Amino acid sequence: MTIAPDAAPETRSFEADVAQLLKLMVHSVYSDKDVFLRELISNAADACEKLRYEGLADPSLLGEDGQPRITVTLDAEARRLTIEDNGIGMSEAEMGEALGTIARSGTKAFIERIAGSKDAEGSQLIGQFGVGFYSSFMVADTVEVVSRRAGADSAAAWSSDGLGTYTIKPVEVADAPARGTRVVLHLKEDAASYTESFTVERTIKAQSAHVPVPIFLKDKPDAEPKQIADGAALWTKPKAEITPEEYTDFYRSVAGQFDAPALTLHYRAEGLHEYSVLAFIPEMPPFDLFDPDRTGRMKLYVRRVFITDEAQLLPRYLRFVRGLVDSNDLPLNVSREMIQESPVLAAIQKGVANRILSELDKLAASDAERYLKIWDAFGAVLKEGLYEDYARRETLLGLARFRTTAGSEWRSLADYVAGLKENQTAIYYATGSDLDRLAASPQLEGFRARGIEVLLLTDQVDSFWAPSGIDHGGKPFKSVTQGLADLSLIPLPEGQAPAAEASGEVTGFIDYVKATLGDAVSDVRPSERLTESAVCLVAPEHGMDRQLEKLLAGAGRLDMAAKPVLEINPRHALIERLSALGEADPSLREDAAHLLFDEARIADGELPADPRGFSARLARVLGRAIG
C-alpha cells in the first residue's frame, strides 16, 4: 500500500479510554485467535450488503462491477494478510467515525437509518456492536485500512498499532480499491501461520463459508484468485432444490461423522422471530454420547456467519442432534462468542426442540421401522428428558419405546395401555442392568400369572425418571420391586383358582425368620407376587427403588441404604417343609432362615451379606442332606 507522499498524516486519539479498552478487546473478549478472520469477513459482507441497499436508490453506485465479492490475499514473504471487498466503502469522515470510536457500529447506525423502510426486509447485515474489527490486533502489530466510498472521487487510509492512537489521511485513488475497503494486517511473528493457504482456507470454510458474499483466496499477491465460498448457504435454498446427497455431505461436514443422517429436518420459522434450521439425527450414536460433560453440537449462525457451537440451542437430552440454527434477529454480546440470555434465544430453543420432537412423533407414526432405529440408538438419551423436562414429559412418553414381558418387540405406552387388565390402576415396571436377568426376576412371577405386562427398564436413567412421581393418562408408574404388589384386585385368568391361605405353621415360620434376621431386613412377610420362587427382596413401600439405590451407592452418593423387605412364598414346597420342622431342629431352622435371605440377595444380583457365614451354613445343610 502506497501513501501519497505530499499528504502529512494527522494523528488523532481514539474516542475512548483506549489503552485499557483495546487490551481488553485483544486479550479478554475473544478466546480464539481465528475469530479475527470471521470478524473482518463479516464486516466486508456487511459493506457489500450496504451497497446493495444503496444501489437500489442509486444504481450508478454499482458501476460496472455489480457482483459483490471478498478477496483474501496472503503474502508469506512480507508476513501480511489482506481482506478486500468491493462494498460500499468509507469516506475519510466515516472511517474516522467507524474505526476511531470503539464500539460504535456503522452497521448498527445503518440498520437504524433504514429501519421501517421497505428495504429493511431481507437484510443480511451482520455486525451489531462495532468491536469485531479490533480483534485484528490479536494477530497484527499494525493494521492499515484503505477505503474508497462508492461514487466518491477520493480515498482515505487509516492506520494503528492498537496501542492508543491511530492515523488517518487522504490517499491517491490509484492506491485504493476502485470501490470498497482493503484491510491489511502486518502479522505478529507468532501469527505467521495466517499466511498459509491451508490454514486460512480451512478457517474461512469453518467459520464464514456461508456469508452471503462469494469469497476468493489468493495464496500470493500475484496469484489468480480461487473461489473458496460461493456465497450460497444450503439451508437458505428451497428443499426441493437440494438432493439427499447434498444433505448427507453437509451433515458429514457439520457433524464430523461418516454415517448418513437417519432424519433430516430443514425449515424456516417466520413470525415474531425469524430463523432457519437444518438439523440431522445421525444413524449411529457418537462415541461421547454419555460423557458427563457432553453438550449439544448445534452450530449457531447469525445471518449466515458462524458464531459458536457452544450455545445451548437444544435440551441436553437432544444432544445427539447435529446441524445449525441461523437467526436473523438474535442479539449478540460484544464477543460474539457467548450469546446473551435473551427472550429471542429462549424462543428459538423452545421452537427448535418442539419441532424436532414433533418430527420424531410423525416419523414414529409413518415409518415405525425407521423410528425404532433412532430409538434404539438414542432412546436412553431421550429418556433423560422424562426426568429433566416436565413441560415436554407427555410428548416424550409418547415417543418412548420399551422392552416388556409381553414379548421381544418394542412397545409404546399406547400399546401397554391397550392391554391393561381389569382393575389395573398402575403401569408396572422393573429396573435392572441386564434384560435377560430382569426378565427372569422372581418379582415378576405374580404379574405373569395374571397376564399383567411389565416394562423392563435397563438404562441407568430409568432408575431416576420412573420413580419420580410420573404418570401417563392418570396411571402412575409403579415398581414391581417396591412395596406391596396389590395384585389381589386383578383377576386371575379363567380356570385358575386363587392360592390358598397360608397355614399357621407357615405364618409361624415367617415370624421366626423375621426375628432371626433382625436388623438385616426391615420386614419379612408373605408374598403376593411370588408363584415359583421361594423368596425375593423388595424395597419398602416408601423407600428408594432398589436399582436406584444400587446406582447411588456405587457412585458414592448414598451414605446408608435402606433395609430391604424379604418376601416369602407361603405356598412354596420348600417353605412348607421348613415350616413343618417346627422347633425340632433349631440349628437347621436358623441356617435355613439365613440361607433364604442370601438366596434372595443372589437372585437380586447381589453377594451374600456374609460370604463366610453363607459358605459355612451351606456346608452344614449339604452335610445333613447326604449324611
> Any bridge partners for residue 184, and if so which?
82, 144
Q: What percent of the chain has pLDDT over 70?
A: 87
Label the pairing between strands 180-187 and 226-229: unpaired
At residue 468's C-alpha, the angle toward residues 465 and 474, to 5°, is 100
For the stretch 402-431, pLDDT in tens is: 999 999 999 999 999 999 999 999 999 999
Q: What is the pLDDT of residue 244?
A: 93
CA distances from 230 to 70, 197, 226, 227 (A): 10, 18, 11, 7
| Minimum mean pLDDT range among 3-7, 150-154, 489-493, 559-563 | 3-7
CA distance 421 to 450: 8
Kindly report each contact of residues 433-436 with a partner whose C-beta sits within 8 Å and lies 24 or more positions away, as own/partner: 433/458, 433/547, 433/605, 434/458, 435/403
DSSP 504-560: HHHHHHHHHHHHHHGGG-SEEEE-SS-SS-SEEEEB-TTS--HHHHHHHHHTT--SS
pLDDT at 288: 77
Q: What is the mean pLDDT of the chain?
A: 86
Q: What is residue 54's predicted lDDT score, i.e. its pLDDT? A: 86
Q: What are phi and psi of 343, to 5 degrees?
A: -60, -30
pLDDT digits (tens, 9 = 90+) for 29-84: 555 788 889 889 989 998 998 898 888 889 999 988 889 999 999 999 999 999 99
pTM to 2 decimal places: 0.76
User: Cα(601)–Cα(530) distance, rounded to whole angstroms?
Assistant: 15
pLDDT of 309? 77
CB atoms within 10 A of CB 55: 16
Q: d(Cα 338, Cα 482) in Å, to the nearest integer?
A: 46
> Within 10 A of 112 (CB to CB), how many other CB atoms are there?
10
Q: Which pLDDT value is given to residue 494?
A: 75
Nine-digit cell at 43? 464486516
Confidence of residue 128 (pLDDT cuts 50, 70, 90): very low
* Strand intervals (E) in 67-126: 70-75, 80-85
Q: Does 495 or 39 have the greater pLDDT score?
A: 39
pLDDT in tens, 190-240: 999 999 999 999 999 888 887 889 999 999 999 999 999 988 888 998 999
Closest by CA position to 505, among listed 489, 519, 526: 526
pLDDT at 626: 86
In this prediction, residue 31 carries a pLDDT of 58
* 87 has pLDDT over 70: yes
CB of 318 closer than 8 Å to CB of 353: yes
Query: How far apart (Å, rounded) are the C-alpha atoms in residues 485 and 449?
Result: 13
The C-alpha atoms of residue 625 and residue 113 are separated, in whole angstroms, by: 99
Which pLDDT band, with edges at 50, 70 and 90, does 265 fall under? very high
pLDDT 10s digits, 546-559: 788 777 877 677 66
Q: How would you classify the pairing of strands 475-479 and 471-472?
A: antiparallel
Q: Do 266 and 277 contact (CB within 8 A), yes or no?
A: yes
Q: State residue 335's pLDDT score.
A: 47
How many residues would you count in the chain? Answer: 627
> Is 367 a residue whose pLDDT tops 80?
yes
Report how far residue 564's alpha carbon sits from residue 285's, in angstroms, rounded to the nearest whole number.
37
Assess whether pLDDT exceeds 80 at residue 123: no
Q: Is the pLDDT of residue 468 over 90?
A: no
C-alpha cell at 467: 420413580
Domains and CATH numbers, the chain: 10-229 (3.30.565.10), 234-371 (3.30.230.80), 504-626 (1.20.120.790)
- The single-letter code of the amino acid at 220 is K
